[in-house]
Amino acid sequence: MTSSYWDYVARRFGIMMLVVFLAVSINFALPRLMPGDPIENQLNQLMASGGGAMGDVGAMVASYRARFGLDQSILTQYLAYWQSVFSLDLGYSLTNYPERVGDAILAGLPWTLGLLGFATLVSFTIGTLLGGLMGWPRSPRFLKTFGSGVLLLSSVPYFLIGMILLYLFAVVFRIFPAGGGMPFGMSAGFNFETFRAIAWHATLPLLSIIIAEIGAWAIGMRGMMVSVLGEDYIALADAKGLKPKRIFLRYGMRNALLPQMTKLAMALGHIVSGAILVEVIFSYPGIGFRLYQAIQSKDYFVIQGIVLLLSVSIAVAMFILDLIYPLIDPRIAKGK
């Protein structure tokens, strides 16, 4: 590795740390800008459901605010928040006390990573290859016709596709379950029955994301492939008599992949946020559904914990991508 590469890495690391600092600060501020008091909101819900005998509500609100540190000044809360971030202790859920925020995140994270991670990688692989073939002038005609239909689906929101799939295959034909991560009452275990049940429940959410995302990946790759094919080195490779397969893979796909890799890193970083609507529609027990519930109930600490995870994952994903860029194109590290 050259000195210019390490200078490049140092600059990108500094940018990542700045992004994390800003993200954590904004993450602290945003829940507190929401109208209403979260403690009063929880007590009102408890009173409405008749779930507890209420006494002096004002004293209870003050007691709970002191318990969660919400009676301190904003600066004190901000410093305490940074301390909790460094110690990886994100506090308790206001809604499901005494559940810890870390436990809530860990409970939903595997579901979301499995669902969105698999769907993103499958849609990226199929969409990128399809887009490359659609932009390749020597591709069969049926591929371009098929690709046009796929591109049409990219304009349809994935949650709308999910609702259509849900109605057809869960309500009308009753082939797949309408919601949940696995059958009610089933105990999860490391065995075939558990994997089969999880895969069966994840089929419709997976299909809704994959169908909607393939077109978006294909559009980007097709545009880059058409642009790359106009470059002089493609004409030179063709004039040298290289095999079309080598020109397609070595000179076309490779040079057109750079923007796709950027989008992939951002898509992987947005996995948590991207799951919200799909998980809500299918009642999928992932972290996106938990974030939706936390926003509805103004559960400050759960919102902060999940958004913090989202922010850091995006920053780290972009940093890793920055490290990979110079390996694909060394001119990037030299600022050319």
Are the C-beta atoms of 321 and 257 separated by less than 8 Å? no
Name the band, by pLDDT with cuts 50, 70 and 90, for residue 143.
confident
pLDDT of residue 48: 67
DSSP string for residues in 293-314: HHHHTT-HHHHHHHHHHHHHHH
Instruction: Dump pLDDT digits (tens) for 221-269.
Output: 888 888 888 888 888 888 888 888 888 888 888 778 777 777 776 666 5
Are the C-beta atoms of 217 and 131 separated by less than 8 Å? yes
Bridge partners (DSSP) listed for residue 35 = none
Rg (CA), the chain: 25
Name the band, by pLDDT with cuts 50, 70 and 90, for residue 336.
low
pLDDT of residue 330: 67
Single-letter amino acid, residue 171: V
DSSP string for residues in 197-239: HHHHHHHHHHHHHHHHHHHHHHHHHHHHHHHHHTSHHHHHHHH
User: 3-state secondary structure string, 283-294?
Assistant: CCCCHHHHHHHH
Task: Kindly give, in sequence order, each residue whose CB lies less than 8 Å from that of residue 306, ignoring residues fewer than 6 positions away.
Answer: 105, 272, 287, 290, 291, 294
Q: What average pLDDT does range 19-42 have in this prediction?
A: 79
Query: Residue 332 above 70 pLDDT?
Result: no
Greatest mean pLDDT among 15-24, 143-152, 180-189, 306-315 lies in 15-24
Task: Kindly give, in sequence order, each residue whose CB lies less than 8 Å from that of residue 177, ignoring residues fewer than 6 positions away.
Answer: 170, 183, 200, 201
pLDDT of residue 248: 84
Are the C-beta atoms of 256 and 228 separated by less than 8 Å? yes
What is each CA distance from 201 to 118, 213, 221, in whole angstroms? 14, 20, 31
In 3D space, the residue among 303, 115, 327 whose CA is nearest the CA of residue 202 turns out to be 115
Query: Residue 288 above 70 pLDDT?
Result: yes
Q: Measured between alpha carbons, how far is 259 from 221 in angstroms, rounded to an integer?
A: 8
Query: Residue 275 above 70 pLDDT?
Result: no
pLDDT of residue 109: 85
And the tokens for 74? 């904003």
Query: Residue 51 above 60 pLDDT?
Result: no
Mean pLDDT of all residues belonging to the chain: 80
Q: Measured between alpha carbons, how far is 199 from 22 in angstroms, rounded to an integer?
A: 38
What is each CA distance from 211 to 26, 119, 205, 228, in whole angstroms? 34, 9, 10, 27
